[in-house]
């Protein structure tokens, strides 16, 4: 049979073209470079550096490639191996990520912020927040995000009957517990709304006097927990911690702790003090309560080491020994237990983590270890007030009386003094104009050297 040579050439040419097309197509397919996965494998908060891992699609024809991170004028390249590459990127820009193979073929480009969650690190400023019914509080948090972008966390409450969120503020509505959350983070903030305290406020009107046994053991325990929380949140062993304790008892506690003339002091073994100037009656918890927490539960009596007329918790009556009939104090008549002036100040300092000693109120140079010895004892003058040296948390004094400045409203020139006096009816936040302050008090104890740290200081409460 005769073979048509022309037809053979046609078939051969067809085969060659097909082969070239197939090889070229396969070459193009197998010489492409594709990203399979991009993920952040580590983030170092201290250095603000992300570790990014990129995985390349397997390619048997061309396995040589580099990873590229590009942003602004910065370009970082890392050689890939076994279809993987890793590089450390400082969180200073939103990088574009891509791969390039040895044939200069480039993969698709991915924007880092579209791959990795914008929120690299998030923490609420506190694990828990106590609020009084009707109180509002800002949501405070610390976050680190990619390229410093502002994140709208859109915080929500799990139970809006207890507390709701509006404009990044938590508004407490009713007693109970709930949590604040966001779909941008796994962290949650526990909210406990209580009716055992009030929003902090100062008024010229007297609060109701604390009754005997006003609280159950459970309620008293919860109040101790709230007090401790407030102090820790302000700063334990700081000026703000002492302020938190004083503000709690004068502004947030529902009742007015009675004034009670002390019947003695706890044993105070400080060899630098002239002990003859200290009351020789060794008494614990009568007009003074040199302990942590509130003296509101019957179980607290177990901590009392020595009694003269008690023990009795705050608000419950014990026999009065002081002769001050003009203020209703008649010897032998039972009066509700509470705090005297230095008792209130030392209680505030003690609960903030300080050890002031069982000190009194006077500034008499012949007496040792008074509250006036705790800091820099100076005369109160208009010039001193104008200097800005006087701060909330400093002590303020006239002979025989000591108190704490708990708020300074610089705009109105109003001073709020936490103090306990027989004729004002106990522990109160008293309100003074600048003129009234200068006419009432003679000295200030500047407490910077005592506190050493300010903590989360504010002239006024929120």
Residue 1 domain-assigned (yes or no): no
Tally of domains in the chain: 3
Of all residues in the chain, what percent carry a pLDDT higher than 90?
75
Claim to verify: residue 150 and residue 250 sit in the same structural domain:
no
Q: Are residues 110 and 129 in the same domain?
A: no
The predicted-structure confidence for 16-71, as pLDDT tens digits, reads as follows: 645 444 444 444 444 688 999 999 999 999 999 999 999 999 875 657 899 999 99
pLDDT digit string, tens, across residues 246-260: 999 999 999 999 999
| Cα 340-344-347 angle, rounded to 5 deg | 130
Last residue of a domain, one of 72, 91, 116: 116
Query: Using CA atoms, how far apart are residues 398 and 362, in angstroms rounded to an integer?
Result: 8
pLDDT at 22: 45
Instruction: Note whether 111 and 243 are same-domain residues.
Output: no
**Looking at the domain assignment, is residue 257 inside a domain?**
yes
Residues 76 and 179 in one domain: no
Shared-domain flag, residues 42 and 160: no
For residue range 58-78, what is the model confidence (pLDDT) as tens digits? 875 657 899 999 998 899 999
Residue 184, in any domain of the structure: yes
In a domain, 369, yes or no: yes
Q: Token digits for 444? A: 């200030």
Domain identity same for 298 and 373: yes
Q: What is the mean pLDDT of residues 291-307?
A: 95
Q: In terms of domains, do 88 and 129 share one?
A: no
Q: Is the domain of 401 the same as that of 308?
A: yes
Among 175, 195, 215, the domain boundary falls at: 195
Whether 374 is covered by a domain: the verdict is: yes
Lowest mean pLDDT among 161-175, 256-270, 374-388: 256-270
Query: Residues 425, 259: contact at Cβ < 8 Å?
Result: yes
In a domain, 347, yes or no: yes
pLDDT at 357: 80
pTM for the model stands at 0.81
Domain range for 77: 35-116
pLDDT of the residue at 117: 84
Looking at residue 451, what is its pLDDT? 98
pLDDT of residue 61: 60
pLDDT score of 327:
87
Where among 84, 101, 116 does a domain terminate? 116
**What pLDDT does residue 275 have?**
55
pLDDT at 13: 62
Same structural domain, 295 and 178: no
- What CATH number is attached to the domain comprising 84? 2.60.40
């Amino acid at each position: 049979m005769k073979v048509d040579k022309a037809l053979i050439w046609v078939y051969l040419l067809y085969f060659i073209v097909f082969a070239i097309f197939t090889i070229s197509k396969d070459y193009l397919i197998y010489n492409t470079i594709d990203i399979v996965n991009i993920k952040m494998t580590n983030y170092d908060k201290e250095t603000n550096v992300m570790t990014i891992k990129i995985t390349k699609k397997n390619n048997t024809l061309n396995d040589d490639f580099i990873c590229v991170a590009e942003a602004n004028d910065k370009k970082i390249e890392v050689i890939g191996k076994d279809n993987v590459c890793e590089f450390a990127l400082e969180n200073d820009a939103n990088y574009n990520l891509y791969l390039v193979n040895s044939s200069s073929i480039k993969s698709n480009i991915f924007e880092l912020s579209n791959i990795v969650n914008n929120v690299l690190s998030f923490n609420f400023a506190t694990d828990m927040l106590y609020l009084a019914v009707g109180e509002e509080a800002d949501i405070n948090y610390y976050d680190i995000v990619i390229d410093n972008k502002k994140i709208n966390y859109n915080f929500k409450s799990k139970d809006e009957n207890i507390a709701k969120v509006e404009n990044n503020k938590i508004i407490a509505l009713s007693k109970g517990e709930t949590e604040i959350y966001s779909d941008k983070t796994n962290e949650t903030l526990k909210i406990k709304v209580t009716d055992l305290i009030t929003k902090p406020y100062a008024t010229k009107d007297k609060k109701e006097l604390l009754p005997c046994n006003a609280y159950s053991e459970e309620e008293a325990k919860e109040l101790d927990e709230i007090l401790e929380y407030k102090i820790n949140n302000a700063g334990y062993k700081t000026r703000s911690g002492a302020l938190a304790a004083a503000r709690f008892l004068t502004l947030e506690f529902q009742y007015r702790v009675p004034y009670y003339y002390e019947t003695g002091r706890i044993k105070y073994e400080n060899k630098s003090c002239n002990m003859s100037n200290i009351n020789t009656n060794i008494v614990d918890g009568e007009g003074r309560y040199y302990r942590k927490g509130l003296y509101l539960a019957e179980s607290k009596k177990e901590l009392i080491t020595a009694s003269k007329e008690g023990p009795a918790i705050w608000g419950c009556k014990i026999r009065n020994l002081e002769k001050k009939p003009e203020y209703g104090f008649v010897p032998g008549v039972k009066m509700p237990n509470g705090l005297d002036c230095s008792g209130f100040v030392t209680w505030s300092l003690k609960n903030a983590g300080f050890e002031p000693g069982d000190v009194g109120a006077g500034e008499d140079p012949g007496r040792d270890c008074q509250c006036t010895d705790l800091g820099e004892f100076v005369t109160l003058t208009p010039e001193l007030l104008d200097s800005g040296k006087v701060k909330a948390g400093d002590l303020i004094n006239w002979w025989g009386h000591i108190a704490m400045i708990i708020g300074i409203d610089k705009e109105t020139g109003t001073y709020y003094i936490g103090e306990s006096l027989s004729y004002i009816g106990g522990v109160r936040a008293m309100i003074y104009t600048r003129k009234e302050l200068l006419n009432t008090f003679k000295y200030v104890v500047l407490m910077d050297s005592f506190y050493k740290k300010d903590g989360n200081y504010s002239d006024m409460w929120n």
